[in-house]
Amino acid sequence: MLKATLEHLTNLTHYYGLLPRTSKMLLRDTFAEVCLLNPRLTYRHAFLFIRQLAISLRNATISKTEKSAKLVQSWQFVQSVLLWCRVLATCSNEIVLQPIRYPLIHVAFGCARYLRNQFLKNLHNTLCLVNFNHKPKRSTLKPIDFDCSLKLSNAHLLESSFRLTTMGRVVEYMQRFFYINRRSVSFPELAFPVLEAVSKNGKPFQLSFKMIMRFS
C-alpha cells in the first residue's frame, strides 16, 4: 500500500504545477498519515528515496551537466524533498525514523543552496537574452502573460511588451531574492554578477536595481 501510494504521488508530480496549493498539501499530509501506520516499512522506503536524492544532488554539484542540473531543478526532486520532510514531521515521535533526519536535512539544505545559485543564473541569462538599450522593432502583439506561457516565439523578443514585462518580472524576483538573503555573508558575491549584468542593460534596470539594493 505504501509503495503504491508513493508511486502514485511520483506520477502526479508531473502535473504539480497545475494543482492548487491546497491539493498539494492534502496529498503530502495523506501520504504522511499512511506512513505513520507502519514506521519500519516507511524507514525502508524513505532510506532508499533519500539516498537517491542525495546521489542526484551530489552528481549535479560535481558533474555540473545540463541533465543532472535539470533533475535537481525538476518538480519531482523538489516535491520529493518536501514530501519526506512532511513525513518525518508527522512521524516525529517514531524512534525508528530518527536516523534519516540528518541526511534529509543535508539534502534539503543542499537543494536550497543549489537552487539559489541556479535562480540567479537564470535571472542573469534573462537579462542577457535581449539588449534592452536598443529600441524594440515593433509593438503589435498582445501583452505577454508569463503565468500562462510555456514558450515564446522569436517575434515576441522584438516586442516592446516583452521587454517591459520581462524587466518588471526580473526586478520583482531580484527584490524578493535579495531581501531574503540580505543578512547572508555571501550577499556581495550574490549581488555582483547581477549588478554587472544590470549595468549593461540600460538606465531603467540600473534605477530599479538601485532601489532594490536600498531596501535590501
Q: Which of 107, 109, 115 is nearest to 177 (CA)?
A: 115
- Distances 14 to 8, 11, 51 between C-alpha atoms, Å: 11, 6, 21
Quote the pLDDT of residue 215: 44
Instruction: Give residue for cell 524513505.
Output: 46
C-alpha cell at position 85: 520532510
Alpha helix segments (H runs only) across the chain: 2-12, 21-35, 39-63, 66-73, 75-90, 101-127, 160-180, 187-198, 202-215
pLDDT at 125: 72
Between CA 32 and CA 111, with CA 106 as vertex, the angle to 5 degrees is: 85
Q: In this predicted structure, what is the pLDDT of residue 212?
A: 47
pTM of the model: 0.59
> How do the pLDDT tens digits run along the chain, 216 residues long?
666 666 656 555 555 554 556 666 777 888 888 888 889 999 998 999 999 999 999 998 888 788 888 888 887 888 889 889 999 999 989 999 999 999 999 998 888 778 776 777 777 677 666 666 666 666 666 667 766 666 777 777 767 777 777 777 777 887 888 888 888 787 877 777 777 766 665 555 555 555 445 544
Domain ranges in the chain are 1-114, 130-214
The Cα 151–Cα 23 span in angstroms is 26
